[in-house]
């Protein structure tokens, strides 16, 4: 799961910034290199400090005034 948060400055500077959040679940297919690398890293059997998870974060996001952040699917197709 990837959790994301965006902050939007209010027009009135006396107010706190609005924080918009969202979650995205990324399935990791069995027996893929990315899944194996992540397992090795989490088990401490790898010296790397990160694993690249492709497509975890969409290129474009919709950050509405209210509600959850979501991918801009119409721009991604």
Q: Would you list the domain boundaries of the chain?
A: 2-76
Bigger pLDDT: 31 vs 14: 31
The dihedral sign for the CA sequence 44, 47, 50, 54: negative
Considering the entire predicted model, what is its pTM? 0.55
What is the model's pLDDT at position 77?
A: 67
Mean pLDDT of the 21-28 span: 86
Distance separating alpha carbons of residues 27 and 22, to the nearest angstrom: 17
Mean pLDDT of the 38-54 span: 87
Local confidence band at 54 (pLDDT 50, 70, 90 cut-offs): confident
Report the share of the chain in percent with pLDDT over 90: 12
């Amino acid at each position: 799961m990837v959790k994301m948060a965006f902050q939007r400055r209010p027009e009135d500077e006396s107010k706190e910034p609005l924080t918009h959040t969202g979650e995205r679940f990324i399935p990791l297919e069995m027996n893929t290199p990315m899944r194996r690398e992540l397992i090795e890293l989490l088990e401490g059997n790898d010296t790397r400090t990160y694993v690249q998870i492709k497509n975890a974060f969409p290129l474009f996001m919709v950050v509405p005034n209210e509600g959850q952040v979501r991918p801009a699917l119409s721009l991604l197709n």
